[in-house]
Amino acid sequence: MHEIINGEVSVSVVIRTFVIALLFAVIIFIMGANNVFSIKDDTTDFSLDSFDNSLKIDINPNRDAFFGDLHVHTMYSFDAFIFGTTASPDDAYRYAKGGSIKHPLGFDMQLDDPLDFYAITDHAAWLGMIRAYADPDSKPGQLDFASDLHGLNDPENLNTNTFVRRAGLFANLLTGELVKPSRNPLKILGAYLQEDTIYGTGAYHRETHQSAWRDVAQAAERHNDPGEFTTFIAYEFTSSGPGQSNLHRNVIFKDSRAPIQPFSIVDSRNPEDLWDWMDNLRDLGIESLAIPHNSNGSNGQMFKLVDWAGNPMDDNYASKRMRNEPLVEITQVKGTSDTHPLLSPNDQWADFGIMNNRVASPFYSSPTGSYVRNAYLRGLSLDSEFKINPYKFGLVGASDTHTGAVSDKESDYHSKIGILDGTPELRGAAPLTKAFKEQIEESGSNVIIRGYTEVGDQEYIDTGYTEWGASGLAAVWAENNTRESIYDAFRRKETFATTGSRIKVRFFGGYQIDEAFDKEDPVNFAYANAVTMGGDILQLENQTPQFLVWALRDVKRAPLDRVQIIKGWTEMSGKPHEEIYDVACSDGRKPSLKTNLCKESKASVNLDNCQISSNSGANELKAVWEDPNFNPDLKAFYYVRVLENPTCRWSTWDALKSGEKPREDLPSTIQERAWSSPIWYVPSNEGITVSNILPDDV
């Protein structure tokens, strides 16, 4: 019987179609809701049977400084594979332990000294999938659209001749044009209802994804060596807000227990959903923390004053954020997020590592709400409304390398995105050759390349990479080099960050500690009578807090120039203020009573060969400092910034190695630096001290 009458669809067809669609929508909705928050039995213990739990590792009660990187990508990350990276998690860990691995362009990469800890943080979204698409013999590689990726990283394709192809693939992936959507109406409807544009296309092979995750986790287990080298199971949650504003986080698991599949933007782009997932895992005994990075590229979204939905923050939001995000990455290759000249116009060292655009975008990133110091000041204002400050985080550095190998040395800089920035020419530090420019223009590709810059009589490629830097490292003070001890340091925020130098920074705050350096063991005295970085100093009537600072240089890098304390506070009205104090300077220089700063150092750099002066600078700087403008009624924070003497910037090294003159429009030198986590002054007895800031307390 025909159900079309006079060219019109019969009522029965309409009803039947509506009912089927409604039932399908309900099923998909339920499945989608469970997909985000239900963990069930989807967790496992990745520990190896060969691990000896009886090992006893020596403990140093005064704690040692350990350096590492908690932001490393390998071949399993969608972008890293497109950039030419074939390094596996095992390769990356071997590199961190002092071994040599190959850059995608074939040259060797090796650290001067091994690191103490490392974490592979491959992107959870598309984890392992791009590598699978490139293999025509794999199931994902047999999809129609995958042919564009076939053989991408075969040996004959690992060269700069594939730059344009890779740039186009990366751009198409970001815009959703690479992984083609399914034409199946039911899959399209399901994907739409679940906000699940990856699983719903049929292009996502779950076993490939989970297999890559298993390898990431098991590699961490294989290379974890308590007392010698620490690894963490980890991944990156790669979310973005409006206008491609960066909201990326790295999730670090405390031990061998982790989910069989990481929470990603496939599940939700909302970081608050990530925190709920982490809380649910914590209820099952699986402890983790998340570390936001590249707030500088967030366009004000990382440290805003409202939640994801645009509602005012409340205590629940503040406590959930601090419970799950006790640390923030302040520096990496894609810029430094301490502060911005527009936010701190009176800080003459603020113009450092500034990346003005959003991540992977030519659009400007608004500084307000995008930088750490601004977040600390906002946190003090919010603290007057809530019991918990949502921006009371500690600091670490990282690399965000996408080659498996951190690149934190100015004189040996290979940047982070493989073939796309693997030469001085591609980084914009050496002039563009005529042949390469013709290759780019013939392809019609303007995806990665923004244009060309003329400096004098030379022309340079403009990719934005000249704003990047050879940075950085995470550092902790921990009793020993084990997961438990280092992770506990993360939690209590006894952490500091450097731009690559292994500067050691101690920072304590307390009362009547001015004689600490006269003691036989100043550090032991400080631990017994003060709080460490990351903690609170509570108000003590008629007393002014004192701060102990002690910085030791990296003997393989430049001497120290000065140690500063950066203070931020808010008036009763909530108006924020900041001030920079030099507390110890090299070569006998003393801070001016008027400016609180020392005179400029006489240290110099020979720009013809990058040699630095040998008659200036300090091996260590230390002081006990008392705030001359302390007001016991006002909330405040204090953190340390340590500056090295000037050295050649990576772009200067690149030019000299290429036989070229350094670009006049780029800084020729930089001052490598370190930052401690803050100490907060609380004008009451309700602060959170270093002894009680574990998850259960927030």
One-letter amino acid for residue 74 of the chain: T
Per-residue exposure over 564-601, b if at least 16 CB sit within 10 Å of its own CB, e if not: bbbbbbbeeeeeeebbbbbbbbbbebebeeeebbbeeb
pLDDT the model gives residue 698:
43
Per-residue pLDDT tens for 258-285?
A: 999 999 998 899 999 999 999 999 999 9
The CB-side HSE value for 120 (13 A sphere, CA atoms) comes to: 34
Residue 396 host element (H or E): strand 394-397
Of 39, 93, 33, 78, whose CA–CA distance to 260 is shortest?
39
DSSP for 623-667, written as a single string: EEEE-TT--TTS-EEEEEEEEEPPEE-HHHHHHHHTT-PPPTTS-
Domain assignments of the chain as residue spans, ordered by start: 4-37, 43-51+62-412, 501-697
Structure tokens at 567: 């203070």
Which comes out higher in pLDDT, residue 387 or 444?
Answer: 387
Per-residue pLDDT tens for 613-638?
A: 999 999 999 999 999 999 999 999 99
Least confident of 170-179, 408-417, 654-663, 687-696: 687-696
Q: Is 115 exposed, middle or buried (0-12, 13-18, 19+ CB in 10 A)?
A: buried
Structure tokens at 658: 């290429």
pLDDT the model gives residue 11:
44
pTM score, two decimals? 0.91
Per-residue pLDDT tens for 114-147?
A: 999 999 999 999 999 999 999 999 988 988 889 9
Least confident of 187-196, 453-462, 671-680: 187-196
- Please report the beta strands in 499-604, taking only residues with DSSP state E, as ranges in sequence order: 504-510, 530-532, 536-538, 546-552, 560-570, 576-585
Question: What value does the mean pLDDT take over residues 410-418?
Answer: 97
pLDDT the model gives residue 693:
42
pLDDT the model gives residue 129:
94
pLDDT the model gives residue 473:
99
Average pLDDT, the chain: 89
Structure tokens at 149: 């990726």
User: Cα 234 vs. chain centroid, distance in angstroms?
Assistant: 13
- Sheet with 620-626, strands from edge to edge, namely 530-532, 504-510, 546-552, 620-626
CA 72 to CA 61: how far, in whole Å?
A: 30
pLDDT the model gives residue 438:
85
Question: What value does the mean pLDDT take over residues 442-450?
Answer: 64
List of long-range contacts for 171-180, beta carbons under 8 Å, 24+ apart = 171/447, 171/448, 173/78, 173/79, 173/82, 173/126, 173/130, 174/360, 178/145, 178/148, 178/149, 179/126, 179/145, 179/203, 180/143, 180/144, 180/145
Residues constituting the chain:
698
Of 328, 233, 213, 318, whose CA–CA distance to 275 is shortest?
318
Structure tokens at 320: 């959930």
Cβ atoms of 575 and 634 closer than 8 Å: no
Instruction: Give, in order, the Cα–Cα distances in Å from 232 to each of 121, 393, 530.
Output: 9, 20, 30
CB count in 10 Å sphere of residue 362: 10
What are residue 643's phi and psi, to 5 degrees? -115, 135
Least confident of 57-61, 198-202, 303-307, 403-407: 198-202
CA 371 to CA 282: how far, in whole Å?
A: 29
- The stretches of 203-361 forming alpha helices (DSSP H) are 206-223, 271-283, 315-324
- Please report the beta strands in 293-361, taking only residues with DSSP state E, as ranges in sequence order: 327-332, 335-336
Of 498, 42, 412, 435, whose CA–CA distance to 257 is shortest?
42
pLDDT the model gives residue 574:
85
- Check pLDDT > 80 for residue 687: no
Per-residue pLDDT tens for 553-586?
A: 999 999 999 999 999 999 988 899 999 999 999 9
- Check pLDDT > 80 for residue 195: no
* Angle of helix 271-283 versus helix 315-324 axis, rounded to 10: 70
Over pLDDT 90: what percentage of the chain?
A: 77
CA 263 to CA 245: how far, in whole Å?
A: 20
Per-residue pLDDT tens for 526-539?
A: 999 999 999 999 99
Residue with tokens 């691990």: 51
Q: How confident is the model at residue 28 (pLDDT cuts 50, 70, 90)?
A: very low
Structure tokens at 224: 């974890």
Q: Give bridge partners of residue 118 from the DSSP assignment.
A: 69, 231
pLDDT the model gives residue 26:
39
pLDDT the model gives residue 479:
98
CA 431 to CA 456: how far, in whole Å?
A: 11
Structure tokens at 44: 């496992």
ω before 464 within 30° of 0 (cis)?
Answer: no
User: Cα 75 vs. chain centroid, distance in angstroms?
Assistant: 18
Residue 679 host element (H or E): strand 679-682
Q: How confident is the model at residue 29 (pLDDT cuts 50, 70, 90)?
A: very low
Residue with tokens 């006790």: 326
The SS3 of residue 347 is coil
CA 7 to CA 181: how far, in whole Å?
A: 33
- The stretches of 269-353 forming alpha helices (DSSP H) are 271-283, 315-324
Which comes out higher in pLDDT, residue 652 or 697?
Answer: 652
CA 171 to CA 448: how far, in whole Å?
A: 8
- Check pLDDT > 50 for residue 21: no
Q: How confident is the model at residue 205 (pLDDT cuts 50, 70, 90)?
A: confident
HEC string of 209-228 equals HHHHHHHHHHHHHHHCECCC
Over pLDDT 70: what percentage of the chain?
A: 87
Question: What value does the mean pLDDT take over residues 534-557?
Answer: 97
DSSP state, residue 612: B
pLDDT the model gives residue 448:
64
Question: What value does the mean pLDDT take over residues 224-237?
Answer: 98
Least confident of 36-45, 135-144, 354-363: 36-45
CA 275 to CA 280: how far, in whole Å?
A: 9
